[in-house]
Structure 1
Amino acid sequence: MRISIDSDTCIGAGQCALTAPDVFTQDDDGFGTVLPGREDGGGNPLAREASRSCPVQAITVTDA
Protein backbone atom coordinates (compact mmCIF):
# COMPACT_ATOMS: atom_id res chain seq x y z
CA MET A 1 0.00 0.00 0.00
CA ARG A 2 1.16 3.54 -0.72
CA ILE A 3 -0.36 6.62 0.95
CA SER A 4 -0.17 10.26 -0.07
CA ILE A 5 -1.98 13.47 0.82
CA ASP A 6 -2.66 16.20 -1.73
CA SER A 7 -1.61 19.28 0.20
CA ASP A 8 -3.43 21.56 -2.26
CA THR A 9 -6.72 19.79 -1.49
CA CYS A 10 -6.36 19.19 2.25
CA ILE A 11 -8.45 21.56 4.41
CA GLY A 12 -7.08 20.39 7.77
CA ALA A 13 -10.24 18.66 9.00
CA GLY A 14 -8.07 16.19 10.94
CA GLN A 15 -10.17 13.09 10.28
CA CYS A 16 -7.09 11.22 9.08
CA ALA A 17 -5.17 11.85 12.31
CA LEU A 18 -8.22 10.94 14.39
CA THR A 19 -8.86 7.72 12.46
CA ALA A 20 -5.28 6.43 12.11
CA PRO A 21 -3.01 8.42 14.46
CA ASP A 22 -0.09 6.04 13.97
CA VAL A 23 -0.08 6.82 10.22
CA PHE A 24 -1.24 10.47 10.00
CA THR A 25 -0.66 13.69 11.91
CA GLN A 26 -1.28 17.37 11.38
CA ASP A 27 1.55 19.77 10.61
CA ASP A 28 2.16 23.11 12.33
CA ASP A 29 -0.42 24.75 10.06
CA GLY A 30 -3.05 22.12 10.89
CA PHE A 31 -2.95 20.26 7.57
CA GLY A 32 -2.80 16.47 7.35
CA THR A 33 0.47 14.75 6.67
CA VAL A 34 1.72 11.18 6.62
CA LEU A 35 4.12 10.41 9.45
CA PRO A 36 7.73 9.82 8.32
CA GLY A 37 8.28 6.16 7.51
CA ARG A 38 4.54 5.45 7.33
CA GLU A 39 4.02 6.11 3.61
CA ASP A 40 3.27 2.39 3.32
CA GLY A 41 0.53 2.59 5.94
CA GLY A 42 2.56 0.68 8.51
CA GLY A 43 0.26 -2.30 8.07
CA ASN A 44 -2.60 -0.35 9.65
CA PRO A 45 -5.99 -1.27 8.14
CA LEU A 46 -7.37 2.06 9.39
CA ALA A 47 -5.27 3.90 6.79
CA ARG A 48 -7.88 3.07 4.14
CA GLU A 49 -10.67 4.12 6.49
CA ALA A 50 -8.89 7.44 7.04
CA SER A 51 -8.82 7.94 3.28
CA ARG A 52 -12.57 7.29 3.07
CA SER A 53 -13.26 9.65 5.98
CA CYS A 54 -11.47 12.62 4.42
CA PRO A 55 -14.19 15.18 3.63
CA VAL A 56 -12.35 16.44 0.53
CA GLN A 57 -10.77 13.15 -0.61
CA ALA A 58 -7.25 14.53 -0.25
CA ILE A 59 -5.80 11.12 0.70
CA THR A 60 -4.83 8.59 -1.93
CA VAL A 61 -4.20 4.96 -1.01
CA THR A 62 -2.89 2.71 -3.75
CA ASP A 63 -1.79 -0.90 -3.71
CA ALA A 64 1.93 -1.38 -4.26
Structure 2
Amino acid sequence: MRVTTERDRCVGSGQCALLSPEVFDQDDEGLVVVLVEQPAEAQREEVLRAADLCPARTIRVHD
Protein backbone atom coordinates (compact mmCIF):
# COMPACT_ATOMS: atom_id res chain seq x y z
CA MET A 1 0.00 0.00 0.00
CA ARG A 2 1.23 3.47 -0.90
CA VAL A 3 -0.37 6.74 0.25
CA THR A 4 -0.35 10.01 -1.70
CA THR A 5 -2.22 13.29 -1.32
CA GLU A 6 -3.17 16.29 -3.39
CA ARG A 7 -2.04 19.06 -1.04
CA ASP A 8 -3.38 21.79 -3.30
CA ARG A 9 -6.92 20.48 -2.64
CA CYS A 10 -6.51 20.03 1.13
CA VAL A 11 -8.88 22.13 3.26
CA GLY A 12 -7.04 21.49 6.54
CA SER A 13 -9.80 19.72 8.44
CA GLY A 14 -7.24 17.50 10.18
CA GLN A 15 -9.37 14.36 10.10
CA CYS A 16 -6.50 12.36 8.61
CA ALA A 17 -4.09 13.34 11.39
CA LEU A 18 -6.70 12.52 14.05
CA LEU A 19 -7.60 9.14 12.54
CA SER A 20 -4.12 8.00 11.58
CA PRO A 21 -1.50 10.12 13.40
CA GLU A 22 1.38 7.77 12.57
CA VAL A 23 0.76 8.24 8.84
CA PHE A 24 -0.57 11.81 8.54
CA ASP A 25 0.19 15.19 10.08
CA GLN A 26 -0.46 18.83 9.24
CA ASP A 27 2.09 21.50 8.39
CA ASP A 28 2.14 25.05 9.78
CA GLU A 29 -0.58 26.04 7.30
CA GLY A 30 -2.80 23.13 8.38
CA LEU A 31 -2.29 21.17 5.15
CA VAL A 32 -1.86 17.40 5.08
CA VAL A 33 1.61 15.90 5.30
CA VAL A 34 2.22 12.20 4.66
CA LEU A 35 4.65 10.96 7.29
CA VAL A 36 4.79 7.36 6.07
CA GLU A 37 4.28 6.87 2.34
CA GLN A 38 4.15 3.07 2.67
CA PRO A 39 2.38 2.31 5.95
CA ALA A 40 2.28 -1.15 7.48
CA GLU A 41 -0.55 -3.48 6.57
CA ALA A 42 -1.77 -3.22 10.17
CA GLN A 43 -2.55 0.46 9.50
CA ARG A 44 -4.64 -0.24 6.38
CA GLU A 45 -8.05 0.19 8.01
CA GLU A 46 -7.22 3.51 9.68
CA VAL A 47 -5.63 4.87 6.49
CA LEU A 48 -8.65 3.84 4.41
CA ARG A 49 -10.97 5.44 6.97
CA ALA A 50 -8.94 8.66 6.88
CA ALA A 51 -9.15 8.68 3.07
CA ASP A 52 -12.89 7.99 3.19
CA LEU A 53 -13.59 10.76 5.72
CA CYS A 54 -11.39 13.40 4.07
CA PRO A 55 -13.84 16.19 3.15
CA ALA A 56 -11.73 17.29 0.18
CA ARG A 57 -11.00 13.73 -1.02
CA THR A 58 -7.27 14.48 -1.28
CA ILE A 59 -5.94 11.18 0.07
CA ARG A 60 -5.21 8.37 -2.39
CA VAL A 61 -4.42 4.79 -1.35
CA HIS A 62 -2.66 2.73 -4.00
CA ASP A 63 -2.31 -1.04 -3.69
Same fold (TM over 0.5): yes
SS of alignment partner, residue 41 of structure 1: coil
The TM-score, its normalising length taken from structure 2, stands at 0.89
Question: Tell me, what secondary structure is at the counterpart of 2:7?
Answer: coil
Residue in 2 aligned with 1:40? Answer: 38
Normalising to structure 1: TM-score of the pair? Answer: 0.88
Provide the aligned C-alpha RMSD in A. 0.9
The answer for unaligned runs of 5 or more in structure 2 is none
What's the % identity of the aligned pairs? 43
Q: Which runs of 4+ in 1 moved over 6 A?
A: none
Q: Structure 1 or 2: larger helix share? A: 2
Q: Count matched residues.
A: 61
Note if contact 1:23-1:42 (Cα within 8 Å) is conserved in structure 2: no
Unaligned runs of 5+ in 1: none
> Partner amino acid for 1:27?
D
